[in-house]
Chains A and B, each alone.
Chain A
Amino acid sequence: MNPSRRTLARALIAASGLALAGAPALAQGAAVKVGVIGPFSGPFAHYGALFKAGVEAYVASQGGKLAGKDIEFIYRDTGGPNPGQTKTLVQELIVKDKVDYLGGFVFTPNALAVAPLIQQSRTPTVVFNAATSAITEKSEYFLRTSYTLWQVTVPLAQWAAQQNMKKVVTAVTDYGPGIDAEAAFKSEFVKQGGTVVESIRMPIATTDFGPFVQRIKASGAQAVYTFLPGGPPNLGFVKAYNENGLAKAGVQFLGTAETDEFDLQKFGDSALGLTTAFHYSGAHDSPENRKFVDALKKRDPAAVANYASVGAWDGMYVIHKMIEATDGRKDGAKALAAARTLQWESPRGPVRIDAKTRHITQNVYLRKVERAGGQLVNKEQQSFGPQTDFGLGK
């Protein structure tokens, strides 16, 4: 027993030493290093897998090199919202691995935590998901290719008012993007003449949404506007909405990311007719989107074309253009200057990077869940046109 413990201790120390020392430095080749931060374990691990699929599919679709340079991806797992650990990982990526660009970020606290690091090291960082408006204000090296709640909610509130809805209840998760969502809907809906009868905030750890759905029913509203983080909370809420008979009780569903393609098939027919306003649908009918979906499936057949994978894909496009502009060398200021002028046709529609806010300006669509070809899809009903991030400058 004891000898094996000693051997074990020795082995561990040796392994740790090796791990710290790291692999011998690669020859100073022309490889551009991109660090991707996201959850690769835990209940939100699907984001990590989708980011990986999106970025690698993009590079593959460009022939394996971007602007003639090899790309080396370094993936780091944050688990969940874990700002301390994220900061350590990013510090290591910047100081030890010397990455040229950073991408990823699902959770707001993680993105906020690294703002001083990227500012000080002048590392352009593309946010593939985290949706709180304030993030891009924390450092001028943040770019974002996902969305913000203000961006997708303001047009939805306007549409709801146009549908003659007068009383709406909001139900959001109690964290940054959720609070943004509530503020955005309230401000726009009230401006359009409606009333928000109740604002329900649901703790982030909630798994049983029954009580909240009952409160929604009791509020007497005509519709419920909701936002929840992707994954188990989305699934739980929509199920609770269906199982507690809210649609039959006449409370319409006004959502954003809840009919995410990742979990959509799990709802079955009970999801038919759910209305959402969002910036990307996997069923978007365009040659760019078809190319994206094909490239994604080729890379990883299990990957789903949704807002996370398209956020990563478009994020890589931005990084590609930045590499082009700096000829593969690390020059944060030059890369950023180039990124601010970008305008292109993405799988989601025509987009551009706003020069002032560094956030993506994109079309927001109104969608309803329908069945097409045996699968449930978010069918785009109308486009609200290009929307900016209304949440900035508040």
Chain B
Amino acid sequence: MNSPMTSTVSTAAKAPAQPVPAQAVRCAPPWRAPLLLLIAGLAACALFPDQLGLITRIFIAGLFVLSLDLVVGVAGLATLGHAALFGLGAYAAGIFALQVHADPLLGLGVGSAAGALTALVSGAFLLRYQGFTFLMLTVAVSQIVLSLVQKARDWTGGDDGLSGFAMAPLLGRFEFDLEGRVGAGYALAVLVLMFYAAQRLVQSPFGLAVRGIHENRARMAALGTPVFRRLWLLYTVAGALAGAAGALSAQTNAVVGTDSLSFALSAEALVMLILGGAGQLTGALVGATVFTLLHHTAASINPYHWLFVVGGLLMLVVFVPPTRAWAWLRRRAGGLQ
């Protein structure tokens, strides 16, 4: 099939040295990025054993922003209410530990399920809308959840937060220690596994369908894709990830506050995502890391004026888009096509 074409083209252009095989596009194996993440995470823990609390926060933020990337970057649904999923996961895990059983893995399951269930229920209503309307409705849902949690003082501690629960040893053996070693390892393991799962999801036919819906909803509908069902499923999966992040936060901190449901948290996560570059999952992790480190560093240098630094960075980043920069970096490094 190619021969007649190459013979006509070759007079004008250089012919390729050898015939290009059919599978021209080389994809990275799906376990590569999670493995790199694992190595990077372990290295961070080993190099900075005094700051495992901060590193754990970065892992948890990374998982949360990853879940947001699925919704915003992959599915194209800008949301400012994602903290509701995170916060409910945190509260569910905390209440479970306090009232039922303090086993971390069970609590993680409970938190993740809570996030997924919330996404399932709210998604049924929210996903009927698009654009700015969808955005504002996500804000409404998240504020309604916050009000309900504040009202249910007996269960959640209201504005004082939920505290007083101590986690049982992980897998029955690893006690959550003061330095945070077990916490950091636990959070990293969960992050890596969920990152792998998210990658597989996004690269699967389902993920491609969702990307298609992002690019052109009408066309996908015309092709016969059940648009609503796809988005609903994706939103639920993202809810599961966000709930897991919330559960990790509750368990490693042994306290849950209403700040985990706040609009500020949703906005911060969105900022982290855009900073790192939405759509490629790795951008979520980069953005979460950079923003958290920046906030921490700037705040400890000067608590009054760190907003200058962060605000300035955000404005700068808009004029120097990260996705183009990463693509340029990759081309320079001569790696993936």
Interface size on A, residues (CB 8 A): 50
B contact face: mostly helix, strand, loop, or mixed: helix
* Contact (Cβ within 8 A) B160 A176: yes
* Contact (Cβ within 8 A) A113 B161: yes
A contact face: mostly helix, strand, loop, or mixed: helix
In the complex, chain B residues 33-75 whose Cβ is within 8 Å of any chain A Cβ: 47-48, 50-54, 56-57
Are A112 and B253 CB-contacts (below 8 A) given A15-B297, A45-B304?
no
Are A19 and B297 CB-contacts (below 8 A) given A77-B303, A84-B255?
yes
User: B292-315 interface mask toward A, CB cutoff 8 Å, 1 = contact, 0 = none?
Assistant: 011011011001101100000000
Residues in A neighbouring B253, C-beta threshold 8 A: 83-84, 87-88, 113
Output the least CB separation between A117 and chain B (Å): 7
Closest partner residue, chain A, to B328 (CB atom): A2
User: A76-105 interface mask toward B, CB cutoff 8 Å, 1 = contact, 0 = none?
Assistant: 110011111101100110111000000000
Among the listed A1, A15, A84, which residue makes an inter-chain contact with B249, where contact means beta carbons less than 8 Å apart?
A84
A174 CB–B CB distance under 8 Å: yes
* Contact (Cβ within 8 A) A41 B304: yes
Residues in A neighbouring B157, C-beta threshold 8 A: 109
B257 CB–A CB distance under 8 Å: yes
B178 CB–A CB distance under 8 Å: yes
Are A16 and B53 CB-contacts (below 8 A) given A75-B303, A112-B161?
no
B329 CB–A CB distance under 8 Å: yes
Among the listed A88, A115, A120, A174, which residue makes an inter-chain contact with B53, where contact means beta carbons less than 8 Å apart?
A88
A302 CB–B CB distance under 8 Å: no
Are A5 and B179 CB-contacts (below 8 A) given A21-B48, A108-B160, A112-B161?
no
Closest partner residue, chain B, to A108 (CB atom): B160
User: What is the bound-complex CA distance between A174 and B290, given in angstroms?
Assistant: 36
* Contact (Cβ within 8 A) B50 A92: yes
* Contact (Cβ within 8 A) B166 A116: yes
Residues in A neighbouring B179, C-beta threshold 8 A: 95
A20 CB–B CB distance under 8 Å: yes
A132 CB–B CB distance under 8 Å: yes
* Contact (Cβ within 8 A) B53 A91: yes
Are A20 and B329 CB-contacts (below 8 A) given A84-B255, A84-B257, A116-B166?
no
A6 CB–B CB distance under 8 Å: yes
Among the listed A1, A40, A80, A91, which residue makes an inter-chain contact with B178, where contact means beta carbons less than 8 Å apart?
A91
Closest partner residue, chain A, to B163 (CB atom): A112
Are A82 and B259 CB-contacts (below 8 A) given A20-B51, A77-B299, A109-B163?
yes
Residues in A neighbouring B51, C-beta threshold 8 A: 20, 92, 95-96
Output the least CB separation between B44 and chain A (Å): 8
User: What is the bound-complex CA distance between A21 and B259, given in angstroms?
Assistant: 29
User: What is the bound-complex CA distance between A5 and B166, given in angstroms?
Assistant: 44
A164 CB–B CB distance under 8 Å: no
* Contact (Cβ within 8 A) A87 B325: no
Residues in A neighbouring B297, C-beta threshold 8 A: 15-16, 19
Among the listed B53, B254, B255, B289, which residue makes an inter-chain contact with A92, where contact means beta carbons less than 8 Å apart?
B53
* Contact (Cβ within 8 A) A88 B54: yes
Among the listed A77, A109, A204, which residue makes an inter-chain contact with B255, where contact means beta carbons less than 8 Å apart?
A109
Interface residues in chain B, defined as those with a beta carbon under 8 Å from any beta carbon in chain A: 47-48, 50-54, 56-57, 150, 157-161, 163-164, 166, 178-180, 249, 253-260, 289-290, 293-294, 296-297, 299-300, 303-304, 306-307, 316, 319-320, 322, 324-325, 328-329
